[in-house]
Chains A and B, each alone.
Chain A
Amino acid sequence: MKNIRLTLVFYIAFLMIPLYWLFNMSLKTNTEILSGFSLWPTNPTLDNYITIFSDAGWYMGYVNSTIYVGLNTIISLAVALPAAYAFSRYRFMGDKHLFFWLLSNRMAPPAVFVLPFFQLYSSIGLFDTHIAVALAHCLFNVPLAVWILEGFMSGIPKEIDETAQIDGYSFGAFFLRIFMPLIKSGIGVAAFFCFMFSWVELLIARTLTSVDAKPIAAVMTRTVSASGLDWGVLAAAGVLTIIPGAIVIWFVRNHIAKGFALGRV
Chain B
Amino acid sequence: MTLTLNNINLSVDGEVYLSNVTASFKAGIFNTLLGPTLSGKTSLLRILAGLDAPDEGTVKFNNGDITNIPAKKRNIAFVYQQFINYPSFSVFDNIASPLKVAGVSKSEINGRVEKISSLLKIDTMLSRKPSELSGGQQQRVALARALVRNADIILLDEPLGNLDYKLREELRLELPKLFKETNSIVVYATTEPEEALMLGGNIALLSEGKVIQSGPTMDVYRRPQNIQSALTFSDPPINICAARSLEIANAHSIGIRPHHVKLKRRNTADIELNAHVTLSEITGSETFVHSLALDQQWTTAIHGVHHFNAGDEISLYLNPANFIPFDASGNTLAILESEGV
Q: Which residues in A have some Cβ–Cβ distance to B below 8 Å?
A: 157, 159-160, 162-169, 173, 178, 181-182
Contact = CB atoms under 8 A, between A and B. Distances in A.
B76 interface: yes
B51 interface: yes
Contact of B72 (A169, A181, A182): A169
Contact of A178 (B70, B74, B86, B145): B86
B334 interface: no
Interface string B68-91: 001110101110101010111100
Contacts of A168: 72, 98, 101-102
Interface of B: 49, 51, 70-72, 74, 76-78, 80, 82, 84, 86-89, 97-98, 101-102, 145, 149
30 contacts: A157-B82, A157-B84, A159-B82, A159-B84, A160-B84, A160-B86, A162-B49, A162-B71, A162-B78, A165-B51, A165-B70, A166-B71, A166-B72, A166-B74, A166-B76, A166-B78, A167-B97, A167-B98, A167-B101, A168-B98, A168-B101, A168-B102, A169-B72, A169-B101, A173-B101, A178-B88, A178-B89, A181-B88, A182-B87, A182-B88
Residue of A163, A166, A182 contacting most chain B CB atoms (<10 Å) = A166
Given A157-B82, A159-B80, A165 B88 contact: no
Contacts, number: 51
Residue of B82, B101, B149 contacting most chain A CB atoms (<10 Å) = B101
Given A157-B84, A169-B72, A178-B88, A162 B51 contact: yes
Given A163-B84, A166-B72, 5 more contacts: A165-B51, A166-B51, A168-B101, A178-B86, A178-B88
A169 B82 CA distance: 21
A204 B305 CA distance: 78
Contacts of B102: 168
Contacts of A167: 72, 97-98, 101, 145, 149
Nearest to B81: A159
Contacts of A182: 87-88
Q: Chain A binding site: helix, strand, loop or mixed by DSSP?
A: helix
Contacts of A169: 72, 97, 101
Contacts of B87: 160, 182
A173 B97 CA distance: 12
A182 B89 CA distance: 10
B75 to A, nearest CB: 9
The 3 A-B residue pairs with the shortest CB-CB distance, nearest first, are A181-B88, A168-B101, A167-B98
A181 B86 CA distance: 10
Contacts of A164: 86
A100 B50 CA distance: 33
A106 B265 CA distance: 79
Nearest to B51: A162
A230 B78 CA distance: 69
A122 to B, nearest CB: 47
A166 B101 contact: no
A100 B97 CA distance: 38
A181 B88 CA distance: 7
B96 to A, nearest CB: 10
A179 to B, nearest CB: 9
A165 B101 CA distance: 11
Contacts of A165: 51, 70-72
A173 B72 CA distance: 13
A182 B51 CA distance: 22
B88 A163 contact: no
B102 to A, nearest CB: 6
Contact of B77 (A157, A166, A173): A166
Nearest to B86: A178
A178 B97 CA distance: 11
Nearest to A178: B86
Nearest to B157: A159
Nearest to B50: A166
Contacts of B77: 166
B35 to A, nearest CB: 20
A160 B71 CA distance: 14
B239 to A, nearest CB: 39
Contacts of A159: 80, 82, 84
A178 B98 CA distance: 13
Contacts of B86: 160, 163-164, 178
B45 to A, nearest CB: 11
A168 B97 CA distance: 9
Contacts of A178: 86, 88-89
Contacts of B89: 178
Residue of A163, A165, A173 contacting most chain B CB atoms (<10 Å) = A163
B148 to A, nearest CB: 10
Contacts of B84: 157, 159-160, 163
Nearest to A162: B51
B81 to A, nearest CB: 9
Residue of B70, B74, B88, B89 contacting most chain A CB atoms (<10 Å) = B88
